Every structure is written in structure tokens, then in C-alpha cells.
């Protein structure tokens, strides 16, 4: 129960130190420290995570890796469903529940993403997004080796989501750890080429990661919708 206490304390701290206003830009007051953590991450990734992911990708054919991704995605759907409910997104809750039901049954325990084939778009929600929807600010940008880009709000969200993840409640910790490890390796394997391309083409890889993380996170919080209101004002650019 220690973890619960720590989580509650973290939520309380976050709530106490933030105001109920939405974010429009990410702050990076610990940039110097974050850049050091990022450098450590790159070394760990180069000599540990990427080689393991490469072996995994080479050993397993694409359809098997995709099935693993589908299965893990389906098993984590209760996280999305619970957060749909916490955000009052009843329509999404209906769709996500249907996705979960379809994939767990005719999708053979999630191996086949049958719901996507039936036109039900894959969406994910987490507690970090729920906190954002309630107006909790993200806090400063943080980079944590191997975990990647984050913010205090996102970290609290991740901790809370573990309580909603059915895998957490597996009795045998070997299974639990194996599934968690498989998820990490599978995700890294899917990112081998995109991250290699980004590394080759970015003028500042640290900032590219930050920009990608922050923009994608805002996009997820807005449920994947792009509106004119979310765009920067560029009207002054054409003035001479």
C-alpha cells in the first residue's frame, strides 16, 4: 500500500502547486539537467534498448509483432475506459468498451484488432490526460532516461494508470514483468526507423524530442482533433 500513499501524496502535491489553467507552451526550467539525462538516455538506448529491439524485430515477423502490439493494446483498454468515464466522455466510453469486447472475443483475446477493421478508431486515454482535462497544469518538462519525455502531471498519470491496468493484478510477477518488458521492447522496435530518421535529420535532437512529445501530448489531450483555435496566430507574418 506504500505505492498508493506515494501516489496520493504526489497527486496532492501536484494539485497544491498548480492552478486550474490549461497549458499553451511547455516550460523547461531544468533544461541543463534534462539535457544530461537525455545524453544518458541516448547511451542506454544505443547500447541496450535499441539492440534488444533490433534482435526482437529481426527474430519476429511483422504479423507476429503486430499481433503482440494488438494484444497488449487491448489488454490495457481498461485504462482508457476508466479515463473515458473520469472525463465524462460517454460516447468514447461506449466505443472503447465495444472495441474491448470485440477484440477480446472475436479478436481472439486481442491478437487481432478486429474493432479497427470494423471502422472503430483506436483511441487512448490516460490519467495524465484526465488531469489535463480538469485544468491541471503539466508542470515543467522532465526527461527521464529510458522512460523518455514527461512532465509531473504525466508521471502522476502513469503511476495512477498502473492501478487501472489489469496486468498489475497478475499473481505471478514473472508474467507481469514479462508482459511489461514485452510492451517496452515492442514499442521500441516500432520506433527504430522513425527515431533513426529523426536523429539523422534533426538540428537539435533534444529539442525535437521535446517538441514532438509536447505537441503529440496536446493532440492526445484534445482527442486527436485539430481546430483553428489550436493553431498559432500567423496573420502578422504577411505584413511587410
200 binds other proteins (CB under 8 A): yes
Least distance to other proteins from the beta carbon of 142, Å?
Answer: 17
212 binds other proteins (CB under 8 A): yes
Residues composing the chain: 240
58 binds other proteins (CB under 8 A): no
Which residue number, 82 or 102, has a Cβ lying nearer to other proteins?
102
54 binds other proteins (CB under 8 A): no
Query: Between residue 29 and residue 48, which ones bind other proteins under the rule CB under 8 A?
Result: none
d(CA 172, CA 141): 35
In angstroms, the Cα distances linking 229 to 11, 109, 216 are 30, 40, 16
Least distance to other proteins from the beta carbon of 175, Å?
Answer: 27
228 binds other proteins (CB under 8 A): yes
Least distance to other proteins from the beta carbon of 16, Å?
Answer: 30
Tell me which stretch binds other proteins (CB under 8 A): 51-59, 137-145, 163-171, 225-233: 225-233
Q: Among 104, 120, 144, 184, which residue sits at the site for other proteins (rule: CB under 8 A)?
A: 120
Q: Among 7, 42, 60, 116, which residue sits at the site for other proteins (rule: CB under 8 A)?
A: 116
Least distance to other proteins from the beta carbon of 1, Å?
Answer: 37
Least distance to other proteins from the beta carbon of 119, Å?
Answer: 5
Residues near other proteins (CB under 8 A) are: 62, 98, 106, 116, 118-120, 122, 193, 197-198, 200-204, 206-208, 210-212, 215-216, 218-220, 224, 226, 228, 231-232, 234, 237-238
Amino acid at each position: 500500500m506504500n505505492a498508493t500513499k506515494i501516489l496520493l501524496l504526489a497527486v496532492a502535491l501536484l494539485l497544491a502547486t498548480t492552478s486550474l489553467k490549461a497549458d499553451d507552451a511547455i516550460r523547461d526550467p531544468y533544461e541543463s539537467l534534462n539535457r544530461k539525462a537525455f545524453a544518458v538516455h541516448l547511451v542506454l538506448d544505443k547500447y541496450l534498448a535499441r539492440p534488444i529491439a533490433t534482435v526482437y524485430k529481426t527474430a519476429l515477423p511483422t504479423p507476429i509483432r503486430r499481433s503482440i502490439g494488438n494484444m497488449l493494446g487491448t489488454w490495457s483498454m481498461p485504462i482508457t475506459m476508466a479515463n473515458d468515464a473520469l472525463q465524462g466522455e460517454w460516447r468514447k466510453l461506449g466505443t472503447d468498451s465495444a472495441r474491448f469486447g470485440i477484440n477480446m472475443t472475436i479478436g481472439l483475446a486481442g491478437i487481432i484488432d478486429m474493432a479497427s477493421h470494423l471502422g472503430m478508431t483506436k483511441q487512448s486515454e490516460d490519467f495524465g490526460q484526465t488531469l489535463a482535462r480538469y485544468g491541471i497544469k503539466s508542470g515543467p518538462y522532465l526527461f527521464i532516461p529510458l522512460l523518455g519525455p514527461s512532465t509531473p502531471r504525466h508521471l502522476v498519470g502513469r503511476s495512477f494508470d498502473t492501478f487501472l491496468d489489469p496486468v498489475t493484478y497478475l499473481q505471478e510477477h514473472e508474467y507481469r514483468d514479462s508482459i511489461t518488458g514485452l510492451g517496452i521492447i515492442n514499442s521500441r522496435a516500432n520506433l527504430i526507423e522513425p527515431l533513426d530518421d529523426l536523429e539523422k535529420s534533426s538540428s537539435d535532437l533534444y529539442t525535437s524530442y521535446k517538441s514532438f512529445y509536447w505537441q503529440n501530448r496536446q493532440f492526445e489531450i484534445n482527442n486527436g482533433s485539430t481546430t483553428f483555435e489550436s493553431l498559432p496566430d500567423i496573420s502578422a507574418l504577411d505584413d511587410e
